[in-house]
Structures are given as C-alpha cells and as structure tokens.
A and B are shown apart, each in its own frame.
Chain A
Amino acid sequence: KQEVTQIPAALSVPEGENLVLNCSFTDSAIYNLQWFRQDPGKGLTSLLLIQSSQREQTSGRLNASLDKSSGRSTLYIAASQPGDSATYLCALNTNAGKSTFGDGTTLTVKP
C-alpha cells in the first residue's frame, strides 16, 4: 500500500526566503505526482504535475522535482511572499486507479 508523508507538518519562514517542502512515498511504481495548494476554507488548486518519466517541472517561482529511486519529491519556492501562505499537498497516482494524498505542510510566510 502506498504511503505518503509530508514533513514538516508546519513551516514558518520570513518573507524573501527560499524554501523546500518535502514529500516522501513508499512505492516508486507511480504514474505521476501532483502538487496542490489549499487556502483555508477553500478547495485544492493544482500547482505542478510531474510525470513518472520526468525529473522536474517549473512554473514561475515554483520548481518540483521527482526522484523515484529515493521515493522523494520536493517543491521549491523561490523568494517566498506572504501570499504563498497556504497548505501544500502532494498526491501520487499509481496503477491502483486512484491517488494517495499526503497530509500536507502548512506554510506561513511572515512579512
């Protein structure tokens, strides 16, 4: 059974800092991995989707990497801003036909 872990559960950083969020998984036989952002009381917004054959994806100040051999993905946020404050979740798709989600990392960026 796929298990997905996101550590730390919460992270607080000053504005302008570069930061890395982690996502670990136990089964490397994945189709793809997706990073989401969730604002308080809102739904999930897709940030980046990495296919199994890819090593990374970039969108603006965000860069997501995937290392299947070590069972890890990272989400790098450059020059963080208070507007980046949210919960970030990773989700893995496997041949089971459904995704497994991590519990998320809650990020607070202080002005």
Chain B
Amino acid sequence: NAGVTQTPKFRILKIGQSMTLQCTQDMNHNYMYWYRQDPGMGLKLIYYSVGAGITDKGEVPNGYNVSRSTTEDFPLRLELAAPSQTSVYFCASSYGHRYYGYTFGSGTRLTVV
C-alpha cells in the first residue's frame, strides 16, 4: 500500500508563476485535505473534500484552488505564486471523519522567490 503520495517533494517558483501540487491516495478514502505548515507553526487547512465532486474551503483558501474529479486524486493549484505561499504543503486522507484518523503524505516543500 502506497498510502498518500505527494509530488513533487521540492519546488522553487518565481513570483507570479503557477503550479499544481499532486496528491493521490490508494486507500479508497472519501475525505481528503490540504494543509500548509509554516516554519515552527501548526497546520492550517487550505481546502478539503468529502468525496469526488465535492470540495470546501478551509481556514486559508485565498490564492489556491482544488478539484476532486476522482476518489483517488486531489490536486492543489497555486495561481500567481506569492512569497507568502512559501511553506510546506501536506495532503491527508481519511475513510470518514467520525471514526477514523488521518493518513498524511510526506509533504511538498515550496519556495516562492
């Protein structure tokens, strides 16, 4: 079982560029999440999805977009990258919110210069 796979692991973007962070899970989980973690800080929720075709905003959605066309994939799109988006991005998934915990990917470290 691969679990939650994130690509790329590292990326440097120039201000104004765009990119997509990929997240795939092979556990047939309904729920998927995107978090960002700034240095020395906790995790902040960007977007989440409770199933294919359903997404919702978290605490810090500005500057990001998501889609969920399949159960397995939950890509995060950054449009017009800004230095404030320099962070480590984590994708997580879960069978369901009530009785199950989260499984995390290994993260994508993004630097915007």
Contact = CB atoms under 8 A, between A and B. Distances in A.
A46 B94 CA distance: 12
Interface residues of A, number: 22
B106 A46 contact: no
Interface in B41-64: 41-43, 45, 48, 50, 56, 58
How many chain B residues sit at the interface, stated as a range, is: 20 to 34
B24 to A, nearest CB: 15
Contact of B106 (A34, A36, A42, A102): A42
Contacts of B42: 89, 101-104
B104 interface: yes
Nearest to A50: B101
B101 A32 contact: yes
A104 B102 CA distance: 16
A19 interface: no
Contacts of B106: 42-43
Interface of A: 31-32, 34, 36, 41-46, 49, 51, 89, 91, 93, 97-99, 101-104
